[in-house]
Structures are given as C-alpha cells and as structure tokens.
C-alpha cells in the first residue's frame, strides 16, 4: 500500500473522529488505515456530489462508476468541467470557495 504524509492536525482529527465512526459502524477496523480509507472514500464521494447534477439515479450511477473506474470518471468530469458543460460558472465559484475553506 502506498504511504503518504498528512499533517499532525489532520491525524489528530481523524483519531478523534474514530469515536464517531465506531458509534455509526460498530465493527472496528483492523487498523488506523481502515478509518483513513473510509474518510477519504466518503470525502471523494461528497466532493463528486458537489459538482454533479442532483438527480438521484444519475448521481448514484456516477458514484458507482467512480468506485469501479476512478481514473475514467475523474478524467471525464474534469474535461466536462473545462468545457463548462457540467455546472455554471457561478456554481463552480461557489464550490471552489467551499472547497478552498478546507485548504490550509
């Protein structure tokens, strides 16, 4: 498994949030990386939901496709965004502002 670095602050938040995850999903993960995988997966899905149309069946299909072919789906979404066909500029700016608030 590839290794990556995260800040001490983010690691502290992940370790603290483990208490919440353990309440929702009572079966504990074998290691800390299980929690990190879950958090990243949910985060990626939420970020996709920000930029995709809100029709439930479309959104569910795209999330399932992303799980199976993340490279293909990400490339397609990026190309569509560049062409301005997925969301309007005002919505794009709103998403950018929201996501930027998470960047240190």
Residue 37 in domain? yes
Domain range enclosing 92: 8-100
Q: What pLDDT score was predicted for residue 104?
A: 57
Q: What pLDDT score was predicted for residue 67?
A: 94
- Report the number of distinct structural domains present in the chain: 1
Interval 20-57: pLDDT, tens: 898 888 787 888 989 999 999 999 999 999 988 889 99
Residue 1 in domain? no
Residue 53 in domain? yes
Tokens of 98: 């929201």
Separation of CA 82 from chain center: 20
Query: What does each C-alpha distance from 43 to 40, 83, 90 come to in angstroms?
Result: 5, 25, 23
Give the predicted TM-score (pTM) of the model: 0.73
Residue 2 in domain? no
The answer to whether 16 and 25 are in contact (CB under 8 A) is: no
Residue 54 in domain? yes
Residue 51 in domain? yes
Q: What pLDDT score was predicted for residue 27?
A: 80
């Amino acid at each position: 498994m590839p290794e990556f670095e995260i800040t001490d602050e983010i690691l502290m938040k992940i370790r603290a949030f483990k208490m919440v995850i353990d309440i929702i999903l009572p079966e504990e993960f074998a290691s800390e990386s299980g929690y990190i995988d879950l958090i990243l997966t949910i985060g990626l899905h939420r970020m996709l939901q920000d930029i995709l149309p809100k029709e439930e069946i479309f959104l569910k299909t795209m999330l399932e496709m992303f799980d199976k072919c993340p490279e293909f789906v990400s490339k397609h979404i990026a190309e569509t965004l560049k062409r301005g066909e997925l969301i309007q500029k005002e919505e794009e700016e709103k998403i950018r502002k929201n996501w930027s608030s998470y960047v240190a």
